[in-house]
Structure 1
Amino acid sequence: MKYIKNIIGIGFLACLAVSCSEQILEKDPVSSFSGQGFYQTSSDAQAGVYGIYDALQSTFRINFSYWGEGRADAVNTNHSGNPLALQQNTLSQDISSASWNNIYETISRANYAIKYIPGVFAGESEFSLQLIAQARALRAISYFYAVRVWGDVPLITEPYESVDQQFFISKTDQELVLDQIVEDFIFASENCRDNFSGDNTRILLTKGAAHAFLTQVYMWRKEYANAIESAEKVIDNSLYSLVPINDWSRIFTSGYSNESIFEVGYNDVQTNSLRVLYAIGADSDYFPSESFRDTFEDDDLRKDLIWDTTEENPRKIWKFFGEGFSDESADPSANNIVLVRLADIMLLKAEAHNQLNETTEALNLLNTIRKRAGITELTLADANGLYGDLESAILHERLIELSFEGHRWFDLVRTGKAISTMNPINGLSDEANLVWPIHEDAINRNPSLEQNDFYK
């Protein structure tokens, strides 16, 4: 699949496909069509859904890191542009990470699929529901990132097909957008397939993936009982298990591990920017900050798997390429990007239990992750002594375990710790500054949009 922009409306791409169980990254593109004209056969319906995955690749190829890590405390940079603006908290409406174009391209393709797939099949079928469920989950992922990055955003759930439709959409309250996200993920959790053949279980949306994303959404909304319930459906799913520490790097270097729940798939044609972000030792966008390096406990086996600990001032992160990685090439990367994995869900569940004063359950989950890393299990007294309280101990574990995977900034925001953590680093002091500015292109093209308050 190549990245092809639609010639009509907000845009639509369909990619040639044969079966949902086949590799979606091996499909060739077909030309762009209107939704009404394209969706005629079951193959068209599959192709339309694959087109949504294609758009998701563009969305996350670099922004998963800019959005999830760039404004947080684990990274440092010597680069101008996005890396420096995010690190110094000097965001402006012309930086590329302020653009939501790829997110709304993904949403647009999903809206076409959701509307037209039912008409392809004679009556409601299990297969059509599975395709619609994937489309709704992909739309929900897109909106979930949009809400966490920009706050209130336009909520669009129908494809744009006529000049009679309202084209200039104003922002919707983020809580209403989150309601739609939950509704979409619940539909996906009920109607997606349990699994696919082989590696496709990790790069196509399954019921387990829908429950995992629901866990993230419920934690964002501080709905802790709901988060625990959805997390249990992931943890009890036989598809997922923690890999041993000697295979930990393979989660990222090879992909498709048993710990992985959903990955954005890439290959030598559909590439991402992982090398530019992390791996070019002399000139990568990000390297591990001193505060991050200093926060490791003794005997943590993950340290040497994340960066070169023999360097006094490390200039690269080799977590995604393997210990000893030294290729200085700036070529695009074919590694998959792991958006959600089992350790993430276990630690979120631990956090939810702690919020409900269920300390034993929280400690058991926390210590499962710590034990794999070779570090001492904690008692409540230990957690209080080392980190101040159990919540901080869990968040510290997320900082280390999920480092550079695109979670840290969102963790700081949803737990109310962004300002206290980042103020000494870059002066962040205003809650209105926690969201990004809306890119100037969107503001200029849509007179119904208002810039986020902090950036007016």
Structure 2
Amino acid sequence: MKNLIQPIIFALVAISFWGCQDDFLNRPPKDGVELNEFFNTANDLEVAVNDLYSILPGDGLYDDDASTDNTLRETISSRIKGSRTVPTRKGSGGWSWSQLRRINFVLENYHRVDNEAAKAKYSGIARFFRAYFYFEKVKRFGDVPWYDMVLEVGDEGLYKARDSREFVMDKVMEDINYAIENIPAEKKLNRITKYTAMILKARIGLHEGTFRKYHNLGNHEKFLQAAAAAAKDLIDSGAYTLFTAGGKDFSYLELFARNTQDDVETILSAVYTPSDRRHDLAYWRTSPTLGALGLTKDLINSYLMTDGSRFTDQEGYETMGFYDEMQNRDPRLTQTTAGPEYSVYGESGREPVDMSITRTGYRVIKALPTRDQWGFGASVNDIIIFRYAEALLIYAEAKAELGTLTQDDLDISINKLRDRVEMPHLILADANANPDPYQESLYPNVDQEGNKGVILEIRRERRIELVQEGLRWDDLMRWKEGEKVEKPMLGIYFSGLGAHDFNNDGVADVYIYDGDDSGAPSEVTARIDINERPLRDPITGVTGGTSGNIDPFPQRGSFDENRDYYYPIPIEDINLNDNLEQNPGWVR
């Protein structure tokens, strides 16, 4: 069953149990005859569990950064603008429990199968999905009601109050520990294994531990310790390593742009094929009217120089032109955004500069496949859901936040990532002795104790390594750095009106003008009218001049510290349940 995301509907029980509605309150009751007919063999149990894979994300995972400070698109998301509203309809806005009902249905009935190995494996996978489900719910809403049984219409439990975050997360850890103990240690790209459960546990522990630490909820250490231990177990297993085919200037790009994943670094992926399933990822990255994705300047500034020094320590970095700022940088920079010598994946010729398909000027090329896949519904490159690199980052961050990080810890984690692109190693003592003021300006809420410098460097590494992989918003939320989205989200710097050479080959590529482009050289391939895309002076902060950074979002983001770390619960759900209270700050 190659396609991970395509749901497999139960042949005998779909009509009776799951239907197509979102709200489990409207599900019909269980039917004992059909249960006896279905849960008889290991194959029955496998089919039941396979239906749960639809819970996992697909290509939308790679687009989530467009609703963060990493990337801007043509239409600014409500999450960034601070314009989210309270949903009305029952079960909307993420407050849906139908997936949980499917999971609990399997867990209530798997014991009917007379096969101990199958029962251990598939109950473990079901509990993996319950841990995943509740982890996502807690991230979104905080306190949520815990259900570990299938509820029917009229059950009193349907109208209970929300359980505490700590109670629910302890249950989540129980589930993921059970999954690790019972799922076999196999390497399967599109199936849940012990290794998938290990990295999920590490992700859960890091998120909950740092959220608790920075939001002053208390009891953060046990989750950070669990994160570090799970990540270390995965490292010590030797099952995975980093993908290095193609060397420092190509391997990072190849990892995401290739059509088919392998199990060198990739732990779990969503599979797409020309005949069975396609996605629109490349279309959104190359469409001038719908996507126009562009990386932000403070992300570009965060990439180190090839000698390990900070780009932002250079005098005049704020007013450096595109060609100059791209020189001698961490090789991941020009494998994430189109650099001066950019060639489309699978081609050798230099691609013309195109400013129409990027809002900031920094074009997104990570996970952009061959040109023949750029049309609507034409992409077939697999989407990575979990990969080994994340475990390395989790291990280092958890240890740093606990205050137990050593140089040896960095050498088996962060420095492995740097080795892939032949970057100098991160040295613990040096980082803590000289914290980066630029990074601290991005994360003012960072731990101010002795590990501040190395925590900032780990955050830098995490942002660079995992950009466009759907984790940035969660990072800002757990670090209590929501107000980061209120900082200017800028693009490429232009020294003034006229022609600009992006490739340093003596030929103009971009022409900047003020309403009249009649003077543009014939060879330019991109034109920007500052009346449509204003420039912001990086020193004075004034927008509207003839030099500065592209300012595609001059209105700025908005974030309410007293409200926006959680999402609102739908009005109808609150009206139906007297025990259910709205999250703080959200009103109708």
Cα deviation for residue 263 of structure 1 reads: 2.5
> SS in structure 2 opposite 1:160?
coil
Per-residue CA distance 1:229-288 (angstroms, 9 max, x = gap):
111111122321111143333433332341112224444545555346545355227432
**Any conservation in 2 of the 1:279–1:318 contact (CA below 8 Å)?**
no
1:99 paired with 2:93, answer yes
**Any conservation in 2 of the 1:363–1:378 contact (CA below 8 Å)?**
yes
Partner of 1:348: 394
Partner of 1:423: 486
Distance of 2:207 and 2:564 partners within structure 1 = 18
Cα deviation for residue 176 of structure 1 reads: 1.6
The aligned runs of 1:231-380 (5 Å cut-off) are 231-244=231-244, 245=248, 246-253=250-257, 254-267=260-273, 269-272=276-279, 274-275=281-282, 278-280=285-287, 282-284=289-291, 286-298=293-305, 299-310=329-340, 311=353, 313=355, 315=358, 316-322=363-369, 325=371, 327-331=373-377, 333-355=379-401, 356-364=403-411, 365-380=413-428
Distance of 1:182 and 1:382 partners within structure 2 = 36
Distance change in 2, residues 1:207/1:312 (3 Å): same
Of residues 58, 61, 67, the one that matches 2:58 is 61
> SS in structure 2 opposite 1:284?
coil
> SS in structure 2 opposite 1:435?
coil
Cα deviation for residue 354 of structure 1 reads: 1.8
Distance change in 2, residues 1:291/1:250 (3 Å): same
Instruction: Please tell me the residue identity of whatever aligns with 2:300.
Output: R
Distance of 1:326 and 1:292 partners within structure 2 = 29
Partner of 1:194: 185
Larger helix fraction of residues: 1
Distance of 1:446 and 1:275 partners within structure 2 = 43
**Any conservation in 2 of the 1:62–1:277 contact (CA below 8 Å)?**
no
Instruction: Please tell me the residue identity of whatever aligns with 1:92.
Output: T
Partner of 2:112: 119
Cα deviation for residue 12 of structure 1 reads: 8.6
> SS in structure 2 opposite 1:211?
helix
1:454 paired with 2:585, answer yes
Distance change in 2, residues 1:371/1:432 (3 Å): same
Instruction: Please tell me the residue identity of whatever aligns with 1:192.
Output: I
1:398 paired with 2:529, answer no
Distance of 1:171 and 1:227 partners within structure 2 = 26
Distance of 2:227 and 2:465 partners within structure 1 = 20
Per-residue CA distance 1:302-329 (angstroms, 9 max, x = gap):
122223234585625331234x757542
Distance of 2:226 and 2:70 partners within structure 1 = 30
Partner of 1:72: 68
**Any conservation in 1 of the 2:67–2:77 contact (CA below 8 Å)?**
no
Distance of 2:177 and 2:20 partners within structure 1 = 25
Cα deviation for residue 71 of structure 1 reads: 4.3
Partner of 1:85: 78
Cα deviation for residue 445 of structure 1 reads: 6.2
TM-score for the superposition, normalised by structure 1: 0.81
Residues 220-229 or 181-190, more deviating: 220-229
Cα deviation for residue 433 of structure 1 reads: 1.3
Distance change in 2, residues 1:302/1:445 (3 Å): farther
Distance change in 2, residues 1:48/1:410 (3 Å): same
Per-residue CA distance 1:62-106 (angstroms, 9 max, x = gap):
65457x535421011222xxx5212212112349997226x6333
The aligned runs of 1:429-448 (5 Å cut-off) are 429-439=560-570, 442-443=573-574, 448=579
- For these two proteins, the number of residue pairs brought into alignment is 422
Distance change in 2, residues 1:116/1:284 (3 Å): same
Per-residue CA distance 1:117-163 (angstroms, 9 max, x = gap):
111226xx011110100011011111111111222223222123454
Instruction: Please tell me the residue identity of whatever aligns with 1:129.
Output: A
> SS in structure 1 opposite 2:456?
helix
Distance change in 2, residues 1:2/1:215 (3 Å): closer
Distance change in 2, residues 1:333/1:397 (3 Å): same
**Any conservation in 1 of the 2:268–2:386 contact (CA below 8 Å)?**
yes
Instruction: Please tell me the residue identity of whatever aligns with 1:372.
Output: R
Bigger Rg, structure 1 or 2: 2
Distance of 1:157 and 1:347 partners within structure 2 = 32
Residues 125-134 or 357-366, more deviating: 357-366
Instruction: Please tell me the residue identity of whatever aligns with 1:290.
Output: K
Per-residue CA distance 1:12-55 (angstroms, 9 max, x = gap):
99xxxxxxxxxxxxxxxxxx9957524332222111101101x2
> SS in structure 1 opposite 2:364?
coil
TM-score for the superposition, normalised by structure 2: 0.64
Distance change in 2, residues 1:12/1:405 (3 Å): same
The aligned runs of 1:10-159 (5 Å cut-off) are 34=30, 36=32, 37-38=34-35, 39-42=38-41, 43-53=43-53, 55-57=54-56, 60-61=57-58, 64=61, 69-79=65-75, 83-94=76-87, 99-100=93-94, 104-121=97-114, 125-159=116-150
Distance of 1:95 and 1:326 partners within structure 2 = 42
**Any conservation in 1 of the 2:372–2:378 contact (CA below 8 Å)?**
no
Residues 186-195 or 150-159, more deviating: 150-159
**Any conservation in 1 of the 2:562–2:584 contact (CA below 8 Å)?**
no
Distance of 2:31 and 2:454 partners within structure 1 = 51
The gaps in structure 1 that reach 5 residues or longer are 14-31
Partner of 2:200: 213
> SS in structure 1 opposite 2:585?
helix
Distance of 2:566 and 2:283 partners within structure 1 = 25
> SS in structure 2 opposite 1:338?
strand
Distance change in 2, residues 1:343/1:63 (3 Å): same
Cα deviation for residue 332 of structure 1 reads: 6.5
Distance change in 2, residues 1:437/1:240 (3 Å): same
Cα deviation for residue 189 of structure 1 reads: 0.4
Distance of 1:273 and 1:157 partners within structure 2 = 36
Instruction: Please tell me the residue identity of whatever aligns with 1:241.
Output: T
> SS in structure 2 opposite 1:261?
strand
Residues 144-153 or 275-284, more deviating: 275-284
**Any conservation in 2 of the 1:264–1:339 contact (CA below 8 Å)?**
yes
Residues 156-165 or 339-348, more deviating: 156-165
Instruction: Please tell me the residue identity of whatever aligns with 1:360.
Output: Q
Distance change in 2, residues 1:182/1:321 (3 Å): same
Distance change in 2, residues 1:149/1:69 (3 Å): farther
